């Protein structure tokens, strides 16, 4: 189902699933329902007391005031005190009700957001390839916040309002059914207006939420890619795209505002017409009644006037609350799509060694990111413990895919990958990844200190171990030259450091966890000569005694590799050491010659 065409049918199964998250707080949930019933019972009491007071005390007391003025004043004071007391009690219950429903909503939101984020952390990387980051951000923040409205402004408040309306209507019909029918004569107009308002606002809200998702995705993507936007002088063009998306967001909101601007005056007009009919009917019938019946009509008319206000107060907002509930349901459906996504990294497996020897075997491995469009086709190779395997090939040949499969970032469709002769699917995921260190070409650093990025905020790793690893790599002196040393803030994505410096920090990170298998993905492809020399020294220290898989564009960096695997369009074309492959004068030889000629020409 696309986001622009949400279902408008009320889904009780979906609602029941949302309320399952309230199960840990069922005591407060039941209290809020009890308060909703109590508030409904209290709603008609004040109008009834006013009617009773006017008919039985004030009228008679006014006559008695000529005889006993003090008694009349006492009656008025007591009536006022009782009314104020009831008002305070009702206000206290209403406050408790509002606080409980809001507390319940925020508690559910907290639990749901934790569950969704945990789910996102466990999704296969293919999901992030297909889903914009801004969309997942909207699911985790905006959509889950909308679910809060199901509790704070949705179902429970709607139940409270409906119970209150029913209680007031019962009181009015019991008191005088003819006067009730007259007062509510314009009610069908209000029902029609409420339906039109609900439909209009519902469509507007769907447009608003889609526009919010589009804004989030656009801003996230373009702020991340700002260097590219500015480098190609595309600021004006991208700004115009943003204005178009933002204009859609504004138009959707204005349409909703217009509906509100029409609906609320209609409610006031219907209330005014109902009040006018009440006064007209009471005035015409007062002349036909005699004695006590005519006098009692005064108290009844005043209580009915109060009842009409109490009746229309929830009616003003109940249609809006239905829309809030509907949008909460739409948001919950989107959130549950994330939770129901079964394309997650499976952590099953009971094999959890502290350390592996490092033997790696690809046994007839085929893999496709999408459907049956395979990017790896029947790949076979072995790496013995301590060996260095280099993988070379043209861009798109499948080199990076191979390293993504070793630590189970994706699941293969055919064949098997083994570490120490054990299928990696049988490993506990944490145990596998703890033994596989990865240094990527594009090093991602989080906003925070150098120390935080090296340890990934793992409190179990002491600073001394970080310093020891940095000294081994040869990075300690450089880090100490930074303002604040290991506490220097690298800024978002490590923007305050050069590419080579970020690369060296990732080496320290990999060394710190002391993996048995080390994967280097084009670690020197985009750095200057000086940084490359530092990185080469760091690599030699890193791979010592470890099984290493190195992906490199610069063939000069892999001559010492135990085995070189040449990939082309996802297939292994050649394998062997440098000398063996050069003698074959095949794919590797051609790659080497092309690169050598470029170096000579350069």
Q: What is the pLDDT of residue 534?
A: 67
pLDDT at residue 359 in the model:
92
Given this model, what pLDDT does residue 376 score?
92
Taking CA atoms, 157 is separated from 36, 39, 309, in Å, by 8, 11, 18
Q: Please determine, for residue 353, whether its predicted confidence score (pLDDT) is greater than 70.
A: yes
Task: Express as a percent the part of the chain with pLDDT over 70.
Answer: 84
Region 582-586 average pLDDT: 87
Report residue 446's pLDDT band, with 50, 70 and 90 as the boundaries.
confident
CA distance 525 to 503: 11
Beta bridge partners of 568: 571
Tokens of 265: 């005056």
Confidence of residue 415 (pLDDT cuts 50, 70, 90): very high
Helix (H, G, I), strand (E, B) or coil at 488: coil
Query: Tell me, what's the pLDDT at 552?
Result: 75
Quickly tell me which residue has 């008919």 as its tokens.
55
- 393 forms bridges with which residues in the sheet? 567
| Residue range 293-320: mean pLDDT, rounded | 77
* pLDDT, tens only, 139-155: 777 788 878 888 877 77
Please give the share of the chain, as a percent, with pLDDT higher than 90: 6
What would the two tokens of residue 382 be?
A: 């072995």
Gap between the Cα atoms of 557 and 513, Å rounded: 25
More confident site: 279 or 382: 382
- Judge whether residue 598 has pLDDT over 60: no
Residue 1 pLDDT level (bands cut at 50, 70, 90): very low
Structure-model confidence comparison of residues 79 and 248, the more confident one: 248
Instruction: Report the pLDDT averaged over residues 267-285.
Output: 83
* pLDDT of amino acid 71: 61
Confidence of residue 4 (pLDDT cuts 50, 70, 90): very low
Is the per-residue pLDDT at 10 higher than 60?
no
- For the segment 220-238, the average pLDDT, to the nearest whole number, is 78
- The 10s digit of each residue's pLDDT in 54-113 is 776 655 555 554 445 666 667 667 777 887 888 899 889 989 998 998 898 888 888 888
> Is residue 338 scored above 60 in pLDDT?
yes
Distances (CA, A) of 82 to 45, 52, 301: 11, 13, 21
Helix axes 291-339, 235-286, angle to 10 degrees: 160
SS (H, E, C) 254-298: HHHHHHHHHHHHHHHHHHHHHHHHHHHHHHHHHCCCCHHHHHHHH
- The full 3-state SS of 178-216, as one line of letters, equals HHHHHHCCCHHHHHHHHHHHHHHHHHHHHHHHHHHHHHH
Average pLDDT for 445-470: 84
Burial (CB < 10 A; 0-12, 13-18, 19+), residue 479, is buried
| Own/partner pairs, 83-89, CB within 8 angstroms, 24+ separation | 83/46, 83/49, 83/50, 86/42, 86/45, 86/46, 86/49, 87/46, 89/42
Q: Model confidence at 527, in pLDDT bands (50, 70, 90)?
A: low
| Long-range pairs for 184-193: beta carbons < 8 A, 24 or more residues apart | 184/274, 185/273, 185/274, 185/277, 186/270, 186/273, 186/274, 186/277, 187/270, 187/274, 189/266, 189/270, 190/266, 190/267, 190/270, 190/315, 193/263, 193/266, 193/267, 193/270
pLDDT at residue 133, rounded to an integer: 66
Burial label for 214, CB within 10 Å (0-12, 13-18, 19+), is: buried
**Residues 55, 299: Cα–Cα separation, whole Å:** 6
DSSP three-state, residue 584: helix
| Cα 339 from Cα 80, distance rounded (Å) | 56
Residue 9 clears pLDDT 50, i.e. is over it: no
Helix (H) or strand (E) holding 253: helix 235-286
pLDDT at 283 over 70: yes
Examine the pLDDT at 549 and tell me if it is beyond 60: yes
Looking at per-residue pLDDT, the higher value among 343 and 355 belongs to 355
Best CA proximity match to 179, nearest among 269, 273, 274: 274
Q: What is the arithmetic mean of pLDDT over 472-501?
A: 79
Q: How is 500-516 classified by DSSP, letter by letter?
A: HHHHHHHHHHHHHT--S
Determine the pLDDT at residue 289. 54
Distances (CA, A) of 235 to 229, 246, 249, 510: 6, 16, 21, 38
- 245-252, long-range: CB within 8 Å, 24+ apart, which pairs? 245/211, 245/214, 245/215, 245/218, 246/215, 248/207, 248/211, 248/214, 249/208, 249/211, 249/212, 249/214, 249/215, 251/207, 252/204, 252/207, 252/208, 252/211
Tokens standing for 63?
């006559």
Token duo for residue 342 = 């079964």
Q: Residue 418: which pLDDT band, with cuts at 50, 70 and 90?
A: very high
pLDDT at 326 over 50: yes
Strands (DSSP E) found in 425-498: 436-439
Indicate the helix (H) or strand (E) that contains 114.
helix 69-122
Indicate the pLDDT class of residue 294, thresholds 50, 70 and 90.
low
The superfamily (CATH) of domain 15-339 is ABC transporter type 1, transmembrane domain (1.20.1560.10)
Question: pLDDT grade, residue 417 (50/70/90)?
Answer: very high
DSSP label of 489: B
Report the candidate in 24, 314, 295 with the shortest Cα–Cα distance to residue 166.
314
The residue extents of the domains of the chain are 15-339, 360-601
Residues 315, 270: Cα–Cα separation, whole Å: 11
Stretch 235-254: mean pLDDT:
86
Closest CA to 152 of 114, 109, 204: 109
The pLDDT mean for the chain works out to 80
DSSP string for 338-393: HHT---B------B--S-----EEEEEEEEESSTT-EEEEEEEEEE-TT-EEEEEE
Q: Which pLDDT score, from 0 to 100, does residue 113 have?
A: 87
Closest to 565 in 3D by CA, of 421, 397, 411: 397
Which CATH fold would you assign to the domain 360-601? Answer: Rossmann fold (3.40.50)
- Tens of pLDDT along 123-179? 777 677 666 666 677 777 778 887 888 887 777 888 888 888 899 899 889 888 888
Residue 123 backbone phi and psi in degrees, to 5: -70, 150
pTM of structure: 0.66
Least confident range of 8-22, 190-204, 465-479: 8-22
């Amino acid at each position: 189902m696309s986001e622009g065409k949400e279902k408008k049918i009320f889904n009780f199964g979906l609602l029941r699933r949302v309320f399952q998250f309230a199960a840990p707080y069922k005591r407060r949930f039941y209290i809020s329902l009890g308060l909703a019933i109590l508030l409904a019972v209290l709603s008609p009491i004040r109008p009834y007391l006013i009617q009773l007071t006017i008919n039985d005390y004030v009228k008679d007391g006014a006559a008695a005031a000529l005889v006993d003025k003090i008694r009349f004043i006492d009656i008025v004071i007591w009536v006022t005190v009782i009314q104020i007391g009831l008002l305070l009690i009702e206000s206290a219950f209403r406050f408790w009700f509002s606080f409980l429903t809001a507390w319940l909503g925020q508690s559910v939101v907290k639990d749901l957001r934790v569950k969704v984020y945990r789910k996102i952390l466990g999704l296969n990387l293919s999901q992030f390839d297909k889903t914009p980051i801004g969309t997942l951000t909207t699911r985790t923040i905006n959509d889950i916040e909308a679910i809060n409205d199901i509790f704070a402004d949705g179902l429970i408040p709607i139940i409270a309002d409906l119970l209150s309306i029913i209680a007031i209507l019962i009181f009015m019909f019991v008191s005088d059914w003819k006067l009730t029918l007259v007062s509510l004569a314009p009610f069908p107009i209000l029902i029609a207006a409420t339906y039109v308002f609900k439909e209009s606002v519902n469509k507007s809200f769907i447009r608003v939420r889609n526009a919010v998702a589009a804004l989030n995705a656009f801003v996230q993507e373009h702020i991340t890619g700002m260097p590219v936007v500015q480098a190609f002088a595309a600021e004006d063009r991208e700004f115009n795209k943003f204005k178009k998306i933002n204009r859609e967001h504004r138009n959707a909101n204005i349409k909703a505002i217009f509906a509100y601007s029409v609906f609320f005056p209609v409610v006031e007009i219907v209330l005014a017409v109902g009040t006018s009919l009440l006064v007209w009917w009471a005035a015409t019938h007062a002349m036909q009644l005699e004695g006590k019946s005519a006098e009692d009509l005064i108290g009844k008319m005043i209580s009915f006037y109060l009842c009409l206000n109490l009746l229309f107060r929830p009616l003003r907002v109940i249609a809006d609350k239905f829309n809030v509930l509907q949008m909460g349901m739409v948001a919950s459906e989107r959130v549950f799509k994330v939770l129901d996504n079964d394309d997650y990294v499976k952590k099953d497996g009971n094999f959890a060694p502290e350390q592996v020897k490092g033997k790696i075997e690809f046994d007839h491995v085929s893999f496709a990111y999408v459907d049956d469009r395979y990017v790896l086709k029947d790949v076979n190779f072995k790496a013995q413990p301590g060996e260095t395997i280099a993988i070379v090939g043209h861009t798109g040949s499948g080199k990076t895919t191979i390293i993504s499969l070793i630590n189970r970032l994706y699941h293969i469709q055919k064949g098997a990958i083994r570490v120490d002769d054990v299928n990696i699917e049988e490993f506990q995921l944490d145990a596998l990844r703890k033994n596989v260190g990865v240094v990527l070409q594009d090093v991602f650093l989080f906003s925070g200190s150098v120390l935080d990025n090296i340890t990934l905020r793992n409190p179990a790793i002491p600073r001394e171990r970080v310093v020891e690893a940095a000294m081994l790599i040869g990075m300690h002196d450089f880090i100490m030259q930074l303002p604040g040393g290991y506490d220097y803030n690298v800024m978002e994505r490590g923007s305050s450091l050069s590419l080579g410096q970020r690369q060296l920090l990732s080496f320290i990170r990999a060394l710190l966890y002391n993996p048995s298998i080390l994967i280097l993905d084009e670690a020197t492809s985009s750095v200057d000569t000086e940084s490359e020399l530092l990185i080469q020294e760091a690599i030699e220290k890193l791979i010592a005694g470890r099984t290493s898989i190195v992906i490199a564009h610069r063939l000069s960096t892999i001559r010492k590799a135990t085995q070189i695997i040449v990939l082309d369009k996802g297939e292994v074309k050649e394998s062997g050491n440098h000398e063996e492959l050069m003698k074959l004068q095949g794919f590797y030889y051609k790659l080497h010659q092309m690169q050598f000629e470029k170096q000579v020409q350069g």
